[in-house]
A and B are shown apart, each in its own frame.
Chain A
C-alpha cells in the first residue's frame, strides 16, 4: 500500500496548524459561497484566487480546493429553506427539499444532504487516492460519442420530470433546448438567436436561468398572495424517521456512483450530475408520485451526486492535468499560478504537496460534516424569519449573486426576465425543472453530435461501433421501447399520476 503510506505523510502535513486553518477557511468560505444564491464555486474560486498569491502553494491549493467541494454542501441550504438554489448544482434539490421544509422536515433534509454529501465526497477522494490513475485512464476513453450517448440517456430521463401533462412537459423540454441554442454555436461558429444583443453571444448563463426560474419566480408567486406564506413548522430533529433510512441510503449509493461517473467525464458539470440523479431516483422509485411532495431520495440522491462529482472531477486534473469542467479549469489555473504542473508529474515532483492536498480533502469533508449537522438546526431558523423581511433580501442577494458571476448588469436584467417567465410557467403548470435540465443538455447534445459526425464517416452509426456508447445507446432504445410499450398498455396511467414538478 504505497498510496496509503504517502497518504499518511500527507495527513502529517495537512494536520499542521497552518494548513488546518487554511482548510477551515476554504471550506467555510466555500460553504458560504454555496449558500449565497447565484455565487457558485466557479465564481467563488475565481474571485479568491488573487488572494492566494501571497501564500505557499500547499495552503493555497488546500484552501481553493476546499472552496470547490464545500460550495456543494452550502448550496443545499437555501434550496431547502427558501426554495432558492444556492448554487446551480442544487437547483433540483429545491423540488423535494423545500417541500420537506414546509412539512417541518428541513432538519432531516439538511441532515441527509450533509451525510450524503460526506459519503459521496469521501468515496470520490478514496478513489482518487487508490485508483485515481486507473479511473483516469478509463475516463479519457470517453470521447464525444460516449458523452453524446450519456446526454441522450439524460434526455430520456427527463420524461420523469414532466409532470401531469405530457404536452406541457414536452413544451418545457423543447423550450429548454431552444434556449440552449441562443448564442454563438461552437459547432458552426454561427451566432444564433441573439436578437442583435452582443451580450447574448455567450448564450444564457445557467445561473441566471436557474435563479430566475426558481428563485425570483417563487417570490413573485408569494407576493401575489401578499407575502403571507405560512411560516414552516418548527424543525424536528436531523435524523430522518427509520422507514426513510433504507431508501435514503440507496439514493446516496446511486448518487455516489452517478456523481463519480460524471465527474470523470470531460464536459459534464455538477448540475448535470444532480439533475440526472434526481430524474434517476424518480425513475427507479416504486412510487414516483411521492416526488415533488418531499421525497427524501429527491434530496439525498442529487446532493450526494454533486459532491461525488466535485471529488471525482479532481481525478483527471491530478492524474492527467486535464480540467474536466470550468470550475476545475480555474483550479488548474491556480495550480499553474503557484508553479505546479498538474498531471503525472505532480506525483513525481511534488508528492508532499499532492498528498497533503488529498489528505486535506478528507479533513475538509469531516469538518463540513461536523459543521453541517449542528448548523442544520441553526440554518433552519432562517426559514422562520418573517417572509416580508426575507423576500426583499432574497431578491437583492439573487441579483447580487447573478451580477458577481460575470459582473454584468445585463445578466441581472435577464434574471428579472426569467423570473417573470418562471412565474408564468408555474401558473400554467409547465415544469420548469424539465426546462432547466434540457437547457443544460441542449448545447452538449448538439455539439457532441457535431463532434461525433466529424470523427468518422459512418455518421451516427459510429455511436454503435464503439463499446461504451453502443451499450448506452442500446439501453436508451430499450428504455424508449419499454416506455412506449407500457404507455400503450397502461394508457399513460402512471405518467398521468406523475407528481407536479
Chain B
C-alpha cells in the first residue's frame, strides 16, 4: 500500500484505506456464504456475517466516494525514512516470533532489544541493557510469576 502511494501521489491514503475496507468486506462476504443463513430458531451462523460484511462493502464504497471528493483529510502515509524504521520494528517482532521457539526466551529477547536499541546507545551499552532487561524479565515472569516461557535445548 505504501509503495503504491509513492507511485500515485494524487490518490489519498483514504482511497487505499477504502479499498482495503472493501476488500475485507468482500473476503468475509464470500466466506460467509458457506454458512447456513437460517436455522431452526431464526438466524443461522451465516446471518450476521453476511449482513455485516455486506454492510462493510457498502461503507467502503461510501468511504471511497468521500475520499475521492476530497472530503477525507486523514494523515499522509509515512515518508521513506519513517517507513523504514517501522518496517525494521515489525521485522524484529516477526523475527522474535519466529525464533523464540528455537532460541528460548532469554536469547531471543536480548537479541530483539539489542536490535532496537542499537542506534540509541553505544553498542556495548545497548548489549548490556538488553542482557540485563531480558534476564530481569525472565526472572520476573518465569521465576516469580511461573509463566512457562519458551526455552532452548539448554534450558534457558
Contacts and interface: CB of A to CB of B under 8 A. Distances in A.
In their complex, do chains A and B touch, with some C-beta pair under 8 Å? yes
Interface of A: 33, 39, 44, 47-48, 50-51, 165, 167-168, 170-171, 174-175, 177-178, 181, 185, 187-188, 190, 192-193, 195, 216, 219-220, 223-227, 386, 388-389, 391-393, 395-397, 399-400, 403-404, 407, 409, 412-413, 416, 419-420, 423-424, 427-430, 446, 449-450, 453-454, 459
A386 B78 CA distance: 23
Interface residues of B, number: 65
A171 B59 contact: yes
Interface string B144-156: 0111111000000
Nearest to B63: A167
B10 interface: no
Contacts of B1: 424
A423 B59 contact: no
Nearest to B17: A428
A223 B129 contact: no
B38 to A, nearest CB: 11
B51 to A, nearest CB: 9
A224 B83 contact: yes
A40 B53 CA distance: 32
B89 interface: yes
A223 B82 contact: yes
A223 B85 contact: yes
Contacts of A174: 52, 55-56, 59
A393 B45 contact: no
Contact of B93 (A181, A193, A393, A416): A416
A416 B41 contact: no
Contact of B82 (A188, A225, A391, A404): A225
A399 B112 CA distance: 11
28 contacts: A165-B72, A167-B62, A171-B21, A174-B55, A177-B48, A185-B45, A190-B45, A192-B32, A220-B90, A223-B82, A223-B85, A227-B85, A386-B120, A388-B120, A389-B117, A389-B120, A393-B113, A395-B89, A397-B137, A404-B141, A412-B96, A416-B94, A420-B90, A427-B13, A427-B77, A428-B13, A429-B75, A453-B42
A395 B49 contact: no
A496 to B, nearest CB: 12
Contacts of A400: 109, 137, 141, 149
Given A48-B145, A450-B41, A391 B96 contact: no
Contacts of B129: 389
A399 B75 contact: no
Interface of B: 1, 13-14, 17, 20-21, 24, 28, 31-32, 35-36, 39, 41-45, 48-49, 52-53, 55-56, 59-60, 62-63, 66, 72, 74-75, 77-79, 81-83, 85-86, 89-90, 93-94, 96-97, 100-101, 109, 112-113, 116-117, 120, 129, 133-134, 137, 141, 145-150
A214 B73 CA distance: 22
A102 to B, nearest CB: 18
Contacts of A416: 90, 93-94, 97
A177 B75 CA distance: 26
Nearest to B48: A446
A16 to B, nearest CB: 25
Nearest to A190: B45
Contact of B89 (A170, A175, A195, A219): A219
Nearest to B113: A392
Nearest to B54: A174
B93 A395 contact: yes
A412 B98 CA distance: 10
B56 A171 contact: yes
Contacts of B31: 192-193, 195
B144 to A, nearest CB: 9
A478 to B, nearest CB: 24
A175 B59 CA distance: 11
Nearest to B94: A416
B41 A395 contact: no
Contacts of B55: 170, 174
A190 B74 contact: no
A42 to B, nearest CB: 13
B74 A429 contact: yes
